[in-house]
Structure 1
């Protein structure tokens, strides 16, 4: 089995050239066969009539001598049959096998008939004419040997086919190099990427299918590079997030081993250990949930719900957080029905409104409104909190990303909430974006279709 693409391409092209040349030659021969035969029949008929007139004009012996010296005998072979079946031939065969003449054909010509046949294919015509002499009627059969014109055409065709095959093969050998070179480049690039090297330059400028493949490969390589970068950041972030509570748990666990530790200190250390353990557990749950959402292994349970009522219930559930800090809510919620996963959507509002409360100043204001059109609705959640820097707004939906790292100790969280929100909104075929200014507040815009396409949700 031939594995080399280069050899396969060459063999395929060679077979194509050879087969195409042979087929073209046979088809052209078949097309011109009738025309060649027609021309041959006209020529041999004219020559035969000239010979008949010779025998009609001059005596038999002189006519025989005249015919035997004719220049045309290089292309024609003449046989003159007697009634007994004996014949006299004129002309040289030169290796040509004469056509068979039957007794019935001889008898027909002797009786004044004409015989015309093409026994050997192209331009080989057998013509039988009655020949009247002073010795009585004889049967003359003329046969056209391969005429110079036909021989030239066949010879020219063979030469053309040979040179066509040679030239075509050379062109194919050169063209196949340029054809296979981009594929070899892609193969080498694939091996480098498999080894972890994403700094590969293809430099394939073609606009054909190979060029399209190369550009798609470069896009894939860029995506893989980003994915690898995300993987490394993910490992780093997980290690960082896990290391902090583990260090606290380990340190306070060692402190608990002190014999003379006061009871209230022991209780405080245990509370810290429990809080850090809960923090790790919450982070683990968030990672698991995000993983399930990204893999779409968790199917959405769609129901028709009242969106405005759901948002009100979330705000009421979060009342202990905002009432203690005297934060006010301004609601503009029109009655809206939407088809969505109740629990998943509930988490979206809990996370976003919870963040708005967390990052708002005491006595601040949070505004929540709903706008609806024919196919979709937009929920707008605005606060007057610390805001998000412009350079961080594009990354807030990444896992573990915390926009305000200077306050990371003050504002607890693993940085997973908005990543989960983004994935839930995407699963509902919706969109989420943010507008924010530092120290002026943040506004989230969540757009959802009123009825998500079922085929997309089931895929």
Structure 2
């Protein structure tokens, strides 16, 4: 009887001792979490008591800390990108507005000849058209990147669509003395896409090539391991690997000397549309050439 009592007392003592350790460990965890919450520590929590349940709790807390740290990094990056986007947008809008205001004031000068007046009016109209394009692209990008924006995916023959878009750029190719090397397969390549979105992607990529190529242009369309692969390749002596990493960022313009003529939005719009169609748009720099690659899953 005495032996049983001693055993019970000993077990009770061990239980109370372990309970005290657990409570102490819980207080340690609580203090560590509170320090992290107040920004006094950026470290993960650690435990001194070997207990399966407490180890699992600490692991879950550390996962939440990882998520909080990543969320904070994403917020800081988003804030930085937003500030940069606002600055770029302000610059892109202010430039044509300043030109329009300036030439409007010149029209008010009584000594301006009719010839000069016509020239100023022509410049104002062209600048206003550019401003209209900027505003349209700003709106289009915000629309495309919204979660509520959905595309209607249906079977489309990519070959025929590409030929139609290229035909529309014939005059611009001639004007810029560009003779593209076209390698477009005759095999019908069909993918579930939104036709108008694909047209927009083609137009943005080809427009970018015409504006900025410094040499030859090659456009190919073929099947590649069950995918439809479009490759647009052009000479780009003025680009660097740093430019390639940011090419699809909103408002990024690699060629700053032409920043008054483009917003950097076209490639970002094309990139967002490709994502909406479950496709991929990538870029790489190879041997002084910019290579854009569009991929869709073949139907």
Q: TM-score, normalised by structure 2?
A: 0.86
2:135 aligned residue: 284
Matched, 1:266 2:106: no
Larger Cα-atom Rg: 1
Q: Post-superposition shift, 1:260? A: 2.5
Which residue among 445, 448, 455 is the counterpart of 2:296? 448
Q: Post-superposition shift, 1:320? A: 1.6
* 1:4-42 CA distance string (max 9 Å, x none): xxxxxxxxxxxxxxxxxxxxxxxxxxxxxxxxxxxxxxx
Secondary structure of the corresponding residue to residue 383 of structure 1: strand
Q: Does the CA contact (< 8 Å) of 2:284 and 2:292 recur in 1?
A: yes
* 1:62-84 CA distance string (max 9 Å, x none): xxxxxxxxxxxxxxxxxxxxxxx
1:140-289, aligned counterparts within 5 Å?
149=1, 153-154=4-5, 157=8, 159-160=9-10, 163-164=13-14, 166-189=16-39, 202-204=42-44, 206=46, 208-289=59-140
Q: TM-score, normalised by structure 1?
A: 0.58
Q: Does the CA contact (< 8 Å) of 1:283 and 1:414 recur in 2?
A: yes
1:280-429, aligned counterparts within 5 Å?
280-334=131-185, 335=187, 336-361=189-214, 364-373=215-224, 375-408=226-259, 412-429=261-278
Query: Could you say if the C-alpha distance between residues 380 and 173 of structure 1 is closer, same or farther in structure 2, counting changes exceeding 3 Å?
Result: same
Matched, 1:435 2:284: yes
Q: Does the CA contact (< 8 Å) of 1:245 and 1:276 recur in 2?
A: yes
Equivalent pairs counted in the alignment come to 286
Q: Post-superposition shift, 1:265? A: 2.0
Secondary structure of the corresponding residue to residue 298 of structure 1: coil
Secondary structure of the corresponding residue to residue 380 of structure 1: strand
The separation in 1 between residues aligned to 2:175 and 2:91, in whole angstroms, is: 32
Q: Can you give the 5+ residue segments of structure 1 that lack an aligned partner in the other structure?
A: 1-148, 190-199, 452-459
1:14-163, aligned counterparts within 5 Å?
149=1, 153-154=4-5, 157=8, 159-160=9-10, 163=13
Higher relative contact order (CA 8 A, sep 6+): 2
The separation in 1 between residues aligned to 2:31 and 2:41, in whole angstroms, is: 14
The separation in 1 between residues aligned to 2:263 and 2:99, in whole angstroms, is: 16
Q: Can you give the 5+ residue segments of structure 2 that lack an aligned partner in the other structure?
A: 47-57
The separation in 1 between residues aligned to 2:41 and 2:166, in whole angstroms, is: 53
